[in-house]
Structure 1
Amino acid sequence: MDGVLLLDKPIGLSSNNALMQAKRLLHAKKAGHVGTLDPLASGLLPLCFGEATKFSKDLLDADKAYDATLKLGVSTTTDDAEGEVLQTRPVTCDRTDVNAALMAFRGLIMQVPPMYSALKRNGKPLYAYARAGHTLEREARAVTIYALECVTCILGESASVTIRIVCSKGTYIRALARDIGEILDCGAHLVMLRRTSVGELTLADAVTLDRLSSMDKLQRSAYLQPIDTLLLKFVLVDLDTEMAQRFMNGQQLRLANKLGVSENSRVRVYDANKSQLIGIGRWRCGVLLPERLISYPR
């Protein structure tokens, strides 16, 4: 059982619980998920099985896209709907103000992580301090917002804004909601979050747990995508059988750079004769260095 399942995680389920359910349905022995989605969030959660777990880390650095709805006029302790209300303020902004506020967050920005996060201080997650009633100073971190647009804007008594975001890893959408609310001078918190893509992977090929549950074993396995689904951003390098075997034995290979591979970049490596992925390597000074290999049954 080696491959990648693109799961459409439902609201109310943790990423680990979703993984365990999928693992049971697929009768898999080894599994892991790429990144996490809070129980409040839904959407794309790539799950890795078998040898694919070796490459899940390569997708953690990928950009991500979300649809998010912000409730205006209310700030909470967690910056989302699970927290206690901290403050309510009147909403006096209009659609023009909202669009102007969003412009301030496009590009490279500095973002202060929420107190209710898994970031650690002295080996202890920040949310543990927050639950004990302590608020710690957090250092702002650089993140990049590649795209940020207003999808819907409802103003008045129950004001809310739905936005579409493409961002770098490490971006907290809850913190973005909080900061947009402050720019609008009314406060805001996150009430809906749906992840629509991770790198090149999208919801278009995802399946729900309910759908998986209704299938037989053969139908479920058909949703399992090949391992190289995780590695599409890497240049493809084909080796003949002899060179492929040397690569799989951990040997460094001196090769002509016919593909124009950038120095120190990573590549996905295939045995051309068997048409199968055998691992990833790093290109350095005309030499292909094995970095992570797949163990196929002998």
Structure 2
Amino acid sequence: MTTDGFLNLNKPAGMTSHDCVGRVRRILQLKRVGHGGTLDPAVTGVLPIALGKATRLLQFLQHHKAYRGTIRFGLTTATDDLEGEIIHSQPVPDLSLEKVQAALPNFLGKIEQFPPNFSAVQVGGKRLYELARKGETLEVAARNVEVFRLEILDWRPGDFPELDLSIACGPGTYIRAIARDLGALLNAGGTLACLTRTESSGFSIDQSLTFAELEQQIQENTFSPILPSVVLGHLGAIVLSPEYTKRWFQGQRLPIPETITPQETPNNSPANLIPQPPYPLQVYDTNGKFLGIGQVASSETSTILSPQIVL
């Protein structure tokens, strides 16, 4: 059984992403395992796992993600979720769904966002959560992030009303920060009560495996890693002739047609459909075997494909 490829893991609560990598290593008896898109311990859902040689491909995965989360109003905490110390608690029975609906558009599109104090953002070589645990707080600059979709799934009124949301966003977006800032905008306070990542890097929770399911497939010898071609389709591809394949493995730069461009992805804007070199491209031989990732660049006389990741 080949172990080079990807695993769509359904991460349980209470484990770090690093913990998950360690457990996958033990289950598969494999040394080279990595993950894409870190999840907080309390968060569940899709955690892309790279196996074997595919660990070199993590940098080329899509960056867009989607979540299903619950925001609880009337409550603020040190971590912007229920894991942290409660800073303020005040019932807000008068908060209505109509007020929430009117405020949500402020968090759609390109927005500025301050990362939570308890986060993996690095300042001066230190993670913010490391500083926060020592009682230190630093001024962190706002970051530009993008939210593509905010859809209300459910609303539960009461002293501490709760809002269920479906969220699609770009890289670096903190859902905890959205909960915090939405609560502040409504003068009610808000914190993230629970969160599940439903999509990440082209993987969906519908096709994910729990640890129990993974172990069962290993016992039954039915586990098969997800092929790179399944998750890297957004890059586009080129097929090399036998002569070029030989030169590829020798690390040679290859002249290619100028018409090859990456494929369109769902969140591309029209300006991004025809990228300017350099950009990455999947590389295959005539038998459909994945050979790695090439970098497309322009020279004075032609377009060149240079080997970047050779498998």
> Which range, TM-score by smaller chain?
over 0.9
In structure 1, the partner of 2:280 is: 266
State the distance in 2 between where 1:87 and 1:159 align. 15
Give SS of 1:214's match.
helix
What is the Cα deviation at residue 211 of structure 1?
1.6
State the distance in 1 between where 2:12 and 2:163 align. 22
Q: Give CA-to-partner distance per residue, 1:35-83, whole Å, 9 cap, x none.
A: 2111110000011111100001222x51100001011100000000110
> What letter is aligned with 2:243?
E
Structure 1 regions of 5+ residues with no counterpart? none
* 8 Å contact from structure 1 (residues 200, 232) kept in 2: no
In structure 2, the partner of 1:281 is: 294
* 8 Å contact from structure 1 (residues 102, 149) kept in 2: no
Give the 5 Å matches for 1:134-153.
134-153=136-155
> What letter is aligned with 1:291?
Q
**Which is further off, 20-29 or 133-142?**
20-29
* 8 Å contact from structure 1 (residues 26, 217) kept in 2: no
State the distance in 1 between where 2:24 and 2:215 align. 9
What is the Cα deviation at residue 218 of structure 1?
5.0
Identity %: 35
Give SS of 2:296's match.
strand
In structure 1, the partner of 2:230 is: 229
What is the Cα deviation at residue 217 of structure 1?
4.0
Give SS of 1:244's match.
helix
* 8 Å contact from structure 1 (residues 212, 220) kept in 2: no
In structure 2, the partner of 1:62 is: 63
Give SS of 1:270's match.
strand
State the distance in 2 between where 1:158 and 1:260 align. 51
Q: Give CA-to-partner distance per residue, 1:218-265, whole Å, 9 cap, x none.
A: 54523x111233312111100111101212221111112344564312
TM-score (norm 2): 0.89
Structure 2 regions of 5+ residues with no counterpart? 263-274
In structure 1, the partner of 2:113 is: 111
In structure 2, the partner of 1:154 is: 156
> What letter is aligned with 1:167?
C
Query: When the two structures are aligned, how many residues end up with a matched partner?
Result: 291
> What letter is aligned with 1:134?
E
In structure 1, the partner of 2:308 is: 291
- Residue number among 206, 209, 212 corresponding to 2:211 in the alignment: 209
TM-score (norm 1): 0.93
State the distance in 2 between where 1:45 and 1:79 align. 22
* 8 Å contact from structure 1 (residues 263, 283) kept in 2: no
Task: Kindly report the root-mean-square deviation, in angstroms, between the aligned alpha carbons of the 2 structures.
Answer: 1.5
